[in-house]
Structure 1
Amino acid sequence: MANITIRDLPDNTKENLRVLAAKSGVSLEAYARLVLQKASSSDSFLQQNILDLAGKYFGRKYGVELGLPERSSTRGEINFEQ
């Protein structure tokens, strides 16, 4: 089994997890393990595409507009009637 260390976890996050673990009747470690297992094995987590992830972390909520650039072509029209 692997081990993981999480640095700089806000105190309130740890406290919230501890309370949720107590309500579930398990230790903080067991609850964190369960949360990580569920999050990493869910279909929605594994099937997110890159555009959805970019929007989630860099979208309007963070002041970034991810619009598509205008398409243009440098080629002229092709004439097949020669």
Structure 2
Amino acid sequence: MASITIRNLDDDVKTRLRVRAAEHHRSMEEEVRIILRDAVTDGRTGPRDLATFTRECFASLGGVELELPPRGPMRAPPDFS
């Protein structure tokens, strides 16, 4: 696992972080790991494909029923003789 050092952190931020960690019964280090993980995952549990992403973007607009054109007979298979 990687390590990160944060320099020049305001004392007020450190104090609020310590209080938040204590409220969750965690160490400050564990609290920071959870905050960073949640910040970069953006609520997603795994990778999404393009179809899922598009569906989520346009779901609020409602659906559209498209007319399917009538199907004609299949063409004759090619003759390779």
Q: Provide the TM-score with structure 2 as the length reference.
A: 0.52
Question: Which protein has greater RCO, CA pairs closer than 8 Å, 6+ apart?
Answer: 2
1:38, 1:27 → 2: CA distance?
A: 17
Q: Unaligned regions of 5+ residues in structure 1, if any?
A: 45-82
Give the equivalent residue in structure 1 for 2:8: 8
Q: Which has the higher helix share?
A: 1
Give the equivalent residue in structure 2 for 1:28: 28
RMSD of the TM alignment (CA)? 1.5
1:43, 1:30 → 2: CA distance?
A: 19
> Where in structure 1 do 4 or more consecutive aligned residues deviate above 2 Å?
none
SS where residue 26 of structure 2 aligns? coil
Give the equivalent residue in structure 1 for 2:61: none
1:43, 1:32 → 2: CA distance?
A: 17
Which structure 2 residues correspond to residues 1-82 of structure 1 after superposition, within 5 A?
1-42=1-42
2:30, 2:38 → 1: CA distance?
A: 12
Whichever residue aligns with residue 21 of structure 2, its letter is: A
Q: CA deviation at 1:43?
A: 5.4
Q: CA deviation at 1:27?
A: 0.4
The count of corresponding residues between Structure 1 and Structure 2 is 44
Q: Unaligned regions of 5+ residues in structure 2, if any?
A: 45-81
